[in-house]
């Protein structure tokens, strides 16, 4: 611990004021991930995904354009 503090140029009081060891970022990331998972269970999210897939499928049938874009579109939702 002392070596880490020395490498970072931190004193004990400065180290206590940082979020390096507090877990705040991890709690925020977990809450955000949980929120997104709950959103993905919603009817609205599923309907939006279905509409987007239908739109992409329609693009593929018109002159063969848009091929390979379905994965990118689905991944961005």
- Please tell me whether the overall predicted TM-score, pTM, comes out greater than 0.75 for this model: no
Determine the Cα angle at 27 with ends 23 and 30, to 5°: 135
| Residue-level pLDDT at 64 | 55
In contact, 49 and 74? CB cutoff 8 Å? yes
Give the mean pLDDT of the chain: 77
State pLDDT tens for residues 11-47: 777 766 766 667 888 889 999 999 999 999 999 999 9
| Residue-level pLDDT at 33 | 94
What is the C-alpha end-to-end distance of the chain, expressed in Å?
Answer: 42
In contact, 31 and 39? CB cutoff 8 Å? no
């Amino acid at each position: 611990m002392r070596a880490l503090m020395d490498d970072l140029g931190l004193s004990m009081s400065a180290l206590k004021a940082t979020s390096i060891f507090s877990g705040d970022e991890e709690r925020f990331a977990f809450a955000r991930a949980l929120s997104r998972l709950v959103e993905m269970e919603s009817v609205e999210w599923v309907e939006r995904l279905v509409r987007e897939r239908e739109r992409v499928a329609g693009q593929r049938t018109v002159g063969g354009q848009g091929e390979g874009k379905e994965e990118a579109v689905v991944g961005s939702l």
